Every structure is written in C-alpha cells, then in structure tokens.
C-alpha cells in the first residue's frame, strides 16, 4: 500500500532537507512505498528553492506552490487532492514531528481504524501553548463527544477515503478527527515523540484560541445540524417565543386585574418585563425565520453534497451483469 506524505510549508527552508532525509530513511528501512508532497503555502524564504531541488534529486518528492499564504487547511487540501497513495499522512515541516513514527502509525491503522491521530504526550512547546491546548482538547471532547488528547497534532494518518469525504477550509484543519468521526470513520490516537522547534518560529499566535473556539462552534453546528438547521434555530426560536409569550400573558393578566377587576398593581408600561418579553418574542420569531432560510439553502443548493458515507457494497448482482451484457 502506497503512502502519501503531505507536508504544509510556511517559511521552513532550514528544516526541509533534514526532514526529507528522515522520511526517506524511515520508509526505506521499513519497505514502505511512498511519495512526499510539499505544499509551499506562500513562503517568503527559500523554501520553494529547496523543495524544487529535493524533487530533482528524488522522484518520490514533489511540490506545489501557492501564490500567497492561504493557510494550513488549504495547503493540506491541495496535498490531499494531489496524493495518489492508498494511505495519506500529514506531517509538519518544522521537524517537530518524527518521521521514525511512520511504521507505528501504519500498524495502528491496520488494527481496524480509518484515522490515527498523533498525541504529543510529552510536548516540547512553551507553556502558553501547552495549557490552553489542554483546555481546548477538553472542550472539543465535551462538545463533540470525540475524546482525544491532541486533536490538532500535526502528525496524522488516514485512509484515502477519509480525504475524499472531509472538506477542510479556513482553519478547520484543527478538526480533522472530529469531521472524520462525524462521517462514521473510526478514529484512534497514538502517543508520538515530539521534538523542540530548531529553526524558525511558530506560525500561530494567541489569536488561535479565540478562532479555534469559534471554529469549534461552527464544526459542532455543521456536524450536528448541518442537514437540519431548523431543529436548532427553530428550537431556540420556540423557546424564546414561548418565554416572551408567557411574560406578555402575565402582564395581560395584571392589566385585566387592574382595569377590570379593580385591583391595584404597578402600571405594566413601567415594568422591565414588558421590554424583555417583546425582545424575546421578536428574537424567537427571527430565529425561526433564519432556520427556514437555512433549510431553503440546503433544499435547493445542497443537492451535490453527499450527506451519507458508504463503507462498502456487495458485488453487483449476477442477473444485473447478465442483463447489461445482453443489452450490448
């Protein structure tokens, strides 16, 4: 089985030759047929020159160069489209991931999984990365039900079908295991050896945590309600509308008791409940109409989206083959 290794690259020129050497050594020692696809995501250093040289020296190495920086998710997508292996591995270019782990990933996949996700058990990154990332992984587990220690590990192995079915764009590369699991693929994890960054610097700053959290909400929505948005929006809408109606009914009762029953209450116009109830009813109605718009989009534009994932099929029926043969 051929292995395609995809390496997204943003200004990592110092690491690329050593990385290529390590990958070749690991694969050759274990008789693994492979290809390496470097995707240069708009580097401004000499990364592309190095990639071009490597591809001349070894025909198993190739490169794709973006016109500008489009992000790691786009780089991985371009690599996945170009890959022709039965198995696809992604690996960071900064030498933090160790190519010597490749055989372990292959054996783990063979025990019956579709995705093997790396887990940097002893992580050699600064503390301001390590601790927030623990919280982030916990939040993903809590919200999606897929409990992994290291969702965003740069080292992952998948069967080729997985790369055909998941769509990663923006910064959704952090959610590859979640997106794969949502389509029924079996996901597991494997502790990996992590190394300190030797050259260059990390491409992600503190902004990643807020963005990551917003993306987590998007992924939760897409995987949970992507095909039935009204169940979420309409659900929220009905609750809000119901609460608002209750508030107004209460105020109506007070109005009647005062004006018809002759009892004495504060006038309803001066009560905060009036404003809250009206706002709640309006927001509720709006959420339901938003839900209808979302449903319209799916009904009329979602025709080509595969909403299901086929694991296998039986062989074609004998009578079907015979009837096709007879008609020719």
Q: From the CB of 96, what's the least distance to ligand UDP, in Å?
A: 6
Comparing CB distances to ligand UDP, the nearer of 153 and 240 is 153
In this structure, how many other beta carbons lie within 10 angstroms of the beta carbon of residue 129? 15
Question: Would you say 41 or 189 has its CB closer to ligand UDP?
Answer: 41
Q: How far is the CB of 237 from ligand UDP (least distance, A)?
A: 38
In the bound state with ligand UDP, the residue whose beta carbon lies nearer, of 95 and 146, is: 95
Q: How far, in Å, CA of 95 to CA of 111, rounded?
A: 27
* 94 near Mg ion (CB under 5 A): yes
**Part of the chain binding Mg ion (CB under 5 A), chosen from 74-82, 84-92, 183-191, 284-292:** 84-92
Distance from C-alpha of 305 to C-alpha of 8, rounded to nearest angstrom = 27
Residue 12 contacts Mg ion per CB under 5 A: no
> Does the protein bind Mg ion through residue 35 (CB under 5 A)?
no
* Residue (134 or 186) nearer to ligand UDP, CB: 134
Question: Which residues bind to ligand UDP, rule: CB under 6 A?
Answer: 8-10, 12, 41, 69, 71-72, 75, 92-94, 96, 154, 202-204
Q: Is 15 in the site for Mg ion (CB under 5 A)?
A: no
Cβ 153 to Mg ion shortest distance, Å? 10
Whether residue 188 contacts residue 116, with contact meaning beta carbons closer than 8 Å, is answered with yes
Comparison of 41 and 92: residue with beta carbon closer to Mg ion: 92
65 token code pair: 């160069």
Q: How far apart are CA 83 and CA 164, in angstroms?
A: 11
Closest alpha carbon to 41 in 77, 78, 71, 7:
71
DSSP string, 253-313: HHHHHHHTS------GGG-HHHHHHHHHHHHHHHHHHHHHHHHHHHHHH-TTS--S-----
Question: Rg of the chain's alpha carbons, rounded to an integer?
Answer: 27
Interface residue list for Mg ion (CB under 5 A)? 92, 94, 96
């Amino acid at each position: 089985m051929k292995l395609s290794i995809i390496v997204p690259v943003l200004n990592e020129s110092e690491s690329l030759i050593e990385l290529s050497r390590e990958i070749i050594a690991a694969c050759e020692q274990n008789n693994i047929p492979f290809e390496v696809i470097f995707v240069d995501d708009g580097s401004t250093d000499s990364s592309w020159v190095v990639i071009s040289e490597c591809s001349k020296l070894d025909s198993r190495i190739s490169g794709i160069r973006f016109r500008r920086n489009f992000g790691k998710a786009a780089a991985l997508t371009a690599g996945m489209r170009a890959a022709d292996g039965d198995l696809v591995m992604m690996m960071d270019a900064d030498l933090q991931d160790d190519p010597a782990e490749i055989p372990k990933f292959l054996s783990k996949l063979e025990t019956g999984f579709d995705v093997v996700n790396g887990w940097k058990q002893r992580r050699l990154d600064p503390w301001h990365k390590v601790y927030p990332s623990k919280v982030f992984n916990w939040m993903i587990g809590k919200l999606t039900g897929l409990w992994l220690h290291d969702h965003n590990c740069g080292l992952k192995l998948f069967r080729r079908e997985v790369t055909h079915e998941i769509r990663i764009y923006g910064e959704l590369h952090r959610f590859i295991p979640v997106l794969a699991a949502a389509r029924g693929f079996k996901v597991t994890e494997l502790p990996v050896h992590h190394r300190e960054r030797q050259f260059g610097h990390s491409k992600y700053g503190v902004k990643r945590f807020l963005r990551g959290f917003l993306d987590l909400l998007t992924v939760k929505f897409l995987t949970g309600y992507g095909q039935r948005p009204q169940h979420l929006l309409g659900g929220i809408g009905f609750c809000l509308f119901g609460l608002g109606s209750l508030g107004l009914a209460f105020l109506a009762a007070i109005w009647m008791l005062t004006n018809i029953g002759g009892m004495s209450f504060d006038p309803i116009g001066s009560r905060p409940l009036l404003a809250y109830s009206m706002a709640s009813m309006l927001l509720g109605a709006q959420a339901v109409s938003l839900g209808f718009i979302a449903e319209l989009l799916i009904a009329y534009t979602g025709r080509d989206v595969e909403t299901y994932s086929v694991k296998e099929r039986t062989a074609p029926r004998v009578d079907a083959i015979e009837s096709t043969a007879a008609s020719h």
